[in-house]
Structure 1
Amino acid sequence: MPGSQTNTQRETTPLRRDNSRIRPDRAPTNPPDATRPAFAAPGQPGPHPGHGGAHPAPPPGGGPPPGYPPTNQQPPVGGPGPGGQRGKITPGGWVLRGLALFAVSLISGLLWLVVRPGGDEEAAPPPEPQTQHDFQPVHREEAFQGCQQVSTDRIQEFFGDSECEHLTRALYTTTLPDGERALTSVVTVLMPDEATARSLDELTTRDGTGNIRDLVDDGRAGTEEMPPLGDRAYGSERQGRLVVIGDSAYFDQDTPRKDPTLLQVTQDALNLGQKQDDQ
């Protein structure tokens, strides 16, 4: 009953505030720095709980320390990058990476072109000569005895001082628009340089200087039934170091000297010279 007991003074102990029972939605308002957990530096012991206002270390597994609200943010994989960025690449970084890859690809391609095999591959065949007439080859000969042995008069003397490097002689047949058949001789002479080739071409175009004998004039086998040429539709031209000489004649009629039709045939046949020499 009140007043039935004597008023005696009791010894009391100071109350301690238990923050563990404070609900998360009513957590005390503290400065931002006071809510951050304190971690000890490597090799040094951490602060003891309850001293200096430090909070307990977070439990294993990366969860929040006791008494802190849970969070849905997970720590990114890997350590923090420069400036606090964790693995983030700027647009400029992607551009630099792309340029580096392009440079590596370009250098690799150039090295492959330098060291690739097949450097001794055969050269591409020369293009087909463009002619207005359909020339059919009937005889071809490559001379190994030199040009002087198949030449006459002043041309023979010329080869005595400047021998050719290569000689070919060939015969072709063609049918003209009026049905007449013509025989054409093509002789190619490869000289050591363009200067001697020019001198030979000038000498062959003069009258009375001789000539390089064609296969019919030389009496080669298989030419017995072919008409003699006789320089009646003669033509020549120089192509660098190569001199090409041509002549034409009719099969079934006499060949007038400098016949306009045959002169056109001979001039057209000179286009066969380069391919004939290459073969």
Structure 2
Amino acid sequence: MPVPDRQGVPEQMTGAQANTQRETTPLRRDNSLIRPDRAAEEPTRPAFAPPPHQAPAAPPPPPPRTNPPTARQAPVPPPSGRRITPMGWALRGLGLLAISVLSGLIWLWLKPADDEADAPPPAPPMRYDFTPIRREEGFQGCQQVSTNRIREYFRNQECEHLTRALYSTRLPNGDRVLTSVITVLMPDAASAQRLNELTTKDGTGNIRDLVDDGRDGTKGMPKLDDDAYASGRQDRLVVIGDSAYFDKSTPNKDPALLDVTNEALKLGWPQDRSPQ
């Protein structure tokens, strides 16, 4: 309300205005710029910035994989609570013994024989065509068909097997040759080496061939007087050979006959292994 001043004239309060009518122009809304199809659109949701990129979480490790039990890993059944009686243990022991005996018999049946294990491969191709005439096993042993120091050697160390054989062949010039081949199987390579060294020395004797012994079918054959003698050791087998001409005299150390005898030494193992 107005406060009288000192002269009694009322003053207007600060901030008060006269109650006068302002002249204002009424506002009119211009709808000409509003599109009819957007008038009814609903307000859209405000767009927010996408969250920062995060690495996908690692999947949990798979559970451990267990393989199905094999025949060797068959699960052991729980004990049934039954006790094995003494008779049951005895029957099990007999079963294991029978299996062991059967396995041993099968091994003995399948394993190679000793004489087959140390046999060398077959002889290489021969340069001469040796035709067998006669072959004999040494049923009497080596001592009974030997002479001089070689006989004494066999008295202390007898051979295991002896064969004596005769072959015929022809030289390229047509000369017919008789060849003797003797095989002596010793217990080991060392005894075979000592025998071979003894047979190569002069005056030590020899093992008689079939012609010397006058065996059946040898009448009229040439004598084998060591004129084309040769010997060799093949592991524990000693092979002794000698050759002579059928239709003419045999010179000492004839090169052609010596070549025949050395070639005939290749017949050693096949002759020792051939059946009678």
Normalising by structure 1, we get a TM-score of 0.57
Match of 1:260 among 234, 255, 260: 255
**How far off is 1:120 after superposition?**
4.0
- Provide closer, same or farther for how the CA distance between residues 194 and 119 of structure 1 changes in structure 2, counting only shifts above 3 A: closer
Helix, strand or coil at the partner of 1:160? helix
Identical residues among aligned pairs (%)? 62
Among candidates 129, 135, 141, match of residue 140 of structure 1 = 135
Summarize the Cα distance change of 1:127–1:196 in structure 2 as closer, same or farther, 3 Å threshold.
closer
Q: Structure 1 stretches of 5 or more lacking a match?
A: 1-82, 84-92, 101-113
The residue type equivalent to 1:249 in the other structure is A
Match of 1:192 in 2: 187
1:181–1:250 contact (8 Å) kept in structure 2: yes
SS at match of 1:215: coil
The alpha carbon displacement at 1:118 in A equals 10
SS at match of 2:158: coil
Alignment counterpart, residue 155 of structure 2, candidates 148, 155, 160: 160
CA distance in 2, matches of 1:126, 1:197: 16
Please give the alpha-carbon distance, in whole angstroms, between the structure 1 residues aligned to 2:204 and 2:188: 22
Whole-angstrom distance in 1 between the partners of 2:163 and 2:223: 19
Q: Which residue of 2 aligns with 1:209?
A: 204
Cα deviation, 1:157-197, whole Å, max 9, x if unaligned, reads: 11111111110000000011000000000000011111111
SS of the equivalent of 1:183 reads strand
Q: Against the structure 1 CA distance between its residues 128 and 192, is the aligned structure 2 distance closer, same or farther, given a 3 Å change threshold?
A: closer
Q: Write the letter of the residue equivalent to 1:129.
A: A
Gaps of 5+ in 2: 1-59, 71-102
What corresponds to 2:230 in structure 1?
A: 235
Match in the other structure for 1:181:
176
Structure 1 residue 122: deviation in Å? 9.7
Aligned match for 1:271, one of 251, 266, 269 = 266
CA contact (8 A) 1:234 1:247 kept: yes
Answer with 118-127 or 208-217: which moved more. 118-127
Code of the residue aligned with 1:156 in structure 2: it is: R
What is the rounded CA distance, in whole Å, between the counterparts of 2:232 and 2:149 in structure 1? Answer: 19
Match in the other structure for 1:219: 214
